[in-house]
Structure 1
Amino acid sequence: MTTLHAKHVLLPDGWADDVTLTLSDGRISSLTGEAADMSVDILLPAPTNLHSHAFQRAMAGLTERRGADKTDSFWSWRQLMFRFLDQLTPEDVQAITAQVQMEMLEAGYAASVEFHYLHHQPDGAAYDDPAEMSARICAAADQTGIGLTLLPVLYQQGGVDGRALGAGQIRFGNDMDSYMTVMQAAGHLIANMPADARLGVAPHSLRAVTPDALKHLQAFQGPIHMHLAEQMAEVDEVEAAYGARPVTWALEHLDIDARWCLIHCTQMTDKETRGLAQTGAVAGLCPITESSLGDGIFNGVIWGEAAGKWGIGSDSNILISLNEELRTLEYSQRLMTHNRAVMATANKSTGRVLFDGTGQGGAQAAGRACGDIKVGQWADLLALNGDATDFIGRQGDSILDTWIFAGTDAKVSDVWAAGRHVVKHGQHIARPEIAEKYRAAMMRLRNVM
C-alpha cells in the first residue's frame, strides 16, 4: 500500500487541493486528506497511448528525403518501412519496444495499446513459437512497467482485390487459423502478466482483411481496433471494390459499438463523421504521424458536436510527446476552421477538453479501468512539476492549457502505471539499461538501413 499526497489534483468533478490517495494492489483505494508517504505538486490521471507500432521508432528521421517524384506520400513511406522491417530480429524488436515504452512513460502516458503486426520471420515463415514477437512486446512491458493492451493484427491480403501479400508484407500475413493460433498463444502471455494487461483483436484495415474475417472477429468481447479511412487512395480502392466509401461500408456491414477503436478516420464526409460518432466507438487519432504522412485532418468539430469519443496514439513513434500530440490536434482544427480554441466548450478550456478526451477515450479503447482519479480505477497517475516557471500563478484548467500549449513533456516529474512508480524526477527508473540495449540494436541496424 502506498499513500500519495497531491497539492492540486484533477478529479472527475474538477480540481481539488490537498488530497491524499491510497494505492492498493495497483488501484486507487481511497481519497482522503491525510498525511502520505510522498507528495507531488500537480496530479493528473495519466492517459493511455491507444495506437503504437513500436518498431517504427527506429526509423525516425530516415524518411525525410524523396527521389525524382515530387509527390512523395504515405505509399512511398510505406515501401521504405517494408524494407526496414525485413532487417529486424526478435531481439531488436524487444529493445526498440522497451525504448518506446520508456519514452511514452516519461512523456506522461501510463499505458500503451500495441497494434502488433510483425509476427513472422523475414521470409514469412513462422517462428517455432507462433507468438515469438508478441512475447517480445510483453517482455518489454515487463521491463518498463507500462500498462499493456496487446492487439495481435490480422493481415490476410495485399489489397481489397485479394491479391497476395507483397515482399514487404509477408512478415505480417496470417490466415484465420494461424491468426487464432497467435491469439491463443498471446492470451497465455497476457494471463501471466500483471493484472492490468489486456488482449484485443485488430483486423488491420478493409484493404488487408476479408469481410468474412471482419464478421468473425467482431464477435470478440474486448477491444477491437482497425485502421479506417486514412488515405484518399484507400478510400478510392475500397469504394471501387465494395461500392461504398470505407466508413459508409463499415457502418452498413459491421456491428460497430463501444468496443471498437477506428484509427485515423481522416477521410470522412460530414455524414460519415456523425454516423460513426453515434456508434460509441473511439476515434484513434495520431496527429503527429498523420501530419508526417500527409494523411489529412480529422473532422474534429462535427465529431465533437455529435458527442464522439476520441483518444491519442503515437502510431509511428517518430516523436513521442503527449502534449505535442494534443497541441497538434487542436492546431489542425484551427488551421482547418480559421478559428481559435476550437475544441473548447462553454465550461471547459481547450486544454481541459483535450486532456479529458484523451484520458477517457484511451481508457475505453484499451479496455482499461483508468482515465479518471477515482476509487476503483487503476492508479494510472501523472505528476507535473509545479515549480516549473511556466506554472507560476496558474490554477485549475490554466495548468493544462499552459502545459499543452506553452510547455514540454519535461514538466512531467512522476508517472505511475497501475500503481507501479516507473518515472521518478522525470526519468524512467530503468533508463540506463533500456537505452543501452536500444543503442546496441541501432548500431547493428545502421549497417543495414
Structure 2
Amino acid sequence: MSRTTRLFDLMQCLRHHRRPVSGAVLAEELGISLRTLYRDIAALKAIGADVEGEAGLGYVLKPGMLLPPLMFSEEELEAVALGLKWVEERADEGLAVAAGEALAKVAAVLPGDQRHRLEDSALVIGPGWKRPQSVDLKLLRRAIRDEQKLDIAYRDQLGRHSSRTIWPCAIAFFESTRVVAAWCELRGEFRHFRADRIEGAVMTGQRYPRRRHLLHKEWLQTLLPCSVTAPVYPLSTPRQEKEQSTMEQELIFYTNPWSRAGIVHWMLEEIGVPYRMEVLEYGASMKSPDYLAINPMGKVPAIRHGDIVVTEAAAICAYLADAFPDAGLLPQPAARGDYYRWLFFAAGPLELAISLNSCGVDLTAEQEMQLGCGNVATVVDTLASAVRGRRYIAGDTFTAADVYVGSHIGWGMQFGTLDKRPEFEAYWAGLKDRPAHRRTEASLEVAASP
C-alpha cells in the first residue's frame, strides 16, 4: 500500500470516529504499526489536516477538512456509479438531474483509468416500474426540507377519497412504489401514503411544531415492536406492527417465464412490494435438491416470504392478497363468497376440464362424475355466466381472483383452449391493459428476445 493511499485511509478512519480515538485502535483498524501511525498523523498535520490530540490521549479530526479527490477501489467505483444511476432511473426528475450532474463531477476529478471504469461500469439499472403520479416528488421533498405542513387529497386502496393535513418527514423509495411517511392530523398518528395515490398537494406555509429530525426519530420508533423510551406521539398499533413486519420480510419469486408463474408475476406487480425473482430452467434447475426443498413437485411458481413457502398459483394469489392488505386485492367480506368461489373454480374444475379436453381425453358420464370437473362445455358455460356483464368477478373492485380468472381467460383465448365468446372478450378487455399486467407482458417480451 502506498503512503498516499494509507493517509487517505487514515482520514476515513478518523471521520468515522466523532470522539477521540486512541492510536492503538487506529493502528489496528489500518493494519499498521503504532510507530507508523504516529508518523502518518504528523504527515496529515503537515499538509493542513486539523487533527487534535497526541500520543496516549487519542486523536480527533475537526470538521471542515477537505482533501483532494480520493482514489476509489474498483468496488467503490461500482457502488458510486450504480447508486447514482439508480437515482437517475428511479427518482423524480429533480433528483435524476442532480444524480447525473454528481456523476459527471465525480468523473471529472478522477484519473483517466478510473474515469474509464466509472463510465464503463458493467452494472446497469433494468427497466423500472412506472407509476403515474399527480404530485411531483420534488414538492414533497421540498416540504420535508422546509418542515412544512401539506394539505393533500388522497385516494386509498379502495378508491375512497379524503383530505388530510400531514407533517411529512421521510420518503421511502421502494423498487415498486414511493411512500411518504408523515404525521396525519386527521388520524392523530403516523401514517404511510403511497405517492401515486396522492392526487393533489399544497404547501400550507405553516411549519409543523417539531423539528424534522425529531419527527423522523419518533416515526422510526413507531416501526419498532417496542420502545425503551416514550415518544411524544403514540406507538403503532399491533396491526400496524404486523403489517410492517410483513413488508420487511424478503419475498422471493421462483419462476419460469413460460409457465403458470406468469399469473403470480402479475399478482406481484399488482401488490407493488419489492421482490426478488429466481428464474429456473426446466429440467435440472427445477429438479435440483435446493429447489425440491421449496417445492417437492419440482414445478413453478413458488414463493418464499420470510420463513413461509407457498406453491400453486391460486394459493399464492390468495396468500399475497391477505399478506399485503394495503394493495386492496382482498375484497370486502360481502364479496368474499364470489371471490373464493371463482378463484378456486378456475384452479379446479376449469383447469382440469380444459386440460383433459386439450389432451384429447373424451370423458364418459361416469368419469365426469368421478373427477368432479364435469363436462367441459358445462364448465365453460358456467364461467361465461360468471363474467357476463361484470367488470370484476367478485364485487365492485379488482381483486386477486381477477388476476387468476383473467389469466386463464386471456391465455385460453390466445392459445385456443377457450372460444372467444363475447363474455370472455369483454371481461378480458377490462383487465389486460392494467399497468401491472403490461409490465408483466413487457418482462415476457424481454425474456423472449435473443
Structure having the larger proportion of residues in strand: 1
Rg larger in structure: 2
Q: TM-score, with normalisation over the residues of structure 2?
A: 0.29
Q: TM-score, with normalisation over the residues of structure 1?
A: 0.29
